[in-house]
Amino acid sequence: MKIQLKDIVSKSILTPAKGAIDDFTHSLNPYVGCVFGCKYCYVRQLPVSLFREQEWGTWIDIKGNAAELLKKDMLKAKKKGPVTIFMSSSTDPYQPIEVKTELTRSLLEVMLEAQPDFIHVQTRSPLVKRDLDLFKKFGDKIRISMTIETDKEEVRKAFSPTAPPIPARIAAIKEITDAGIMTQATIAPLLPCSRDFPQKLKHIANRVTIDDFWMGDGSGGKRTEKLGVYKIYKQMGLEKWYNPTAYKVVLKMMQEELQNSQVELMISKKGFSPDGN
């Protein structure tokens, strides 16, 4: 599939954080659009996608002036008080084009010069480990969060066929954790998984956060319902997983597995806040 790329000039790069991430002061999105094109992505129901002619997952706008803007925006934001940043809320900062543009890396370099009080990096790409050298310089002001919705590759392929394989994500976040960086394995949204899932996550990150469509899509599951993901569950014979109480089963499994470990277990919004409270 050919991806349509476009360089754009943005007017701003730091956006006031809202909704599920409103515990942060700002969100930061290096790109508009995301080639991973996950079928459950809530951004599909936002204006940025709804009013675009191309299908979500087939286009990317590259904010070429992002680093220049961030230098100015950071100075302004820091004058008003603490600055906590969620990167990214509506794109993946480490999607494949990042290999060429190094746009996300340039933003991290800017933030090392004018450091925010905290930055949460949310991705599902093993490419994130490329910037391990920069992460180390942030000390305890940064958390790297890897989306791992399931441990079943057949499920991953059904919902997000162009996203990186789960084993590669697990290996990447473990490498970052082993390097002494604060990390999180994010089960968001929770997809059908095996009973071995908790054990697979036990030693790869400092904490695990569970979220689902009903808690996390910003509309009590209504946005997700419009996307038609229930059809995928039905096609796979996994209808029982599509309900707002399914997460409790996995939560209990996680609690039992992690109870004697040093890994924190969080639910939904708390797992995406700067301090976890």
The predicted pLDDT at position 22 comes to 92
Q: What percent of the chain has pLDDT over 90?
A: 83
pLDDT at 199 over 60: yes
The predicted pLDDT at position 17 comes to 94
Query: Chain-wide mean pLDDT for the chain?
Result: 94
How far is the C-alpha of 254 from the C-alpha of 195, rounded, in Å?
Answer: 10
Q: Which of 27-31, 46-50, 115-119, 219-223 has the lowest mean pLDDT?
A: 46-50
Q: Which residue has the tokens 């794109």?
A: 91
How far is the C-alpha of 137 from the C-alpha of 123, rounded, in Å?
Answer: 19
Q: How confident is the model at residue 276 (pLDDT cuts 50, 70, 90)?
A: low
Could you give the number of structural domains in the chain?
A: 1
Q: How confident is the model at residue 157 (pLDDT cuts 50, 70, 90)?
A: very high
Q: Which domain holds residue 45?
A: 4-272
**Residue 216: helix, strand or coil by DSSP?**
helix
CATH at 108: 3.80.30.30
The predicted pLDDT at position 216 comes to 79
List phi, psi (to 5°) of 6.
Answer: -145, 130
How far is the C-alpha of 148 from the C-alpha of 269, rounded, in Å?
Answer: 16
How far is the C-alpha of 63 from the C-alpha of 54, rounded, in Å?
Answer: 18
Residue 54: count of CB within 10 angstroms of its CB: 11
Contact 85, 27 (CB under 8 A): yes
Stretch 225-251: mean pLDDT, rounded?
Answer: 94
Which tokens belong to 253?
A: 């499994």
In which order are the strands placed within the sheet that holds 118-123?
14-16, 26-28, 84-87, 118-123, 142-147, 182-187, 207-210, 264-267
Q: Which amino acid is at 59?
A: W
How far is the C-alpha of 269 from the C-alpha of 92, rounded, in Å?
Answer: 19
| 98: in domain | yes
| 277: in domain | no
pTM: 0.95
The predicted pLDDT at position 55 comes to 87
pLDDT at 24 over 90: yes
Greatest alpha-carbon pair distance for the chain in Å reads 54
pLDDT at 277 over 60: no
**Residue 214: helix, strand or coil by DSSP?**
helix
pLDDT at 99 over 60: yes
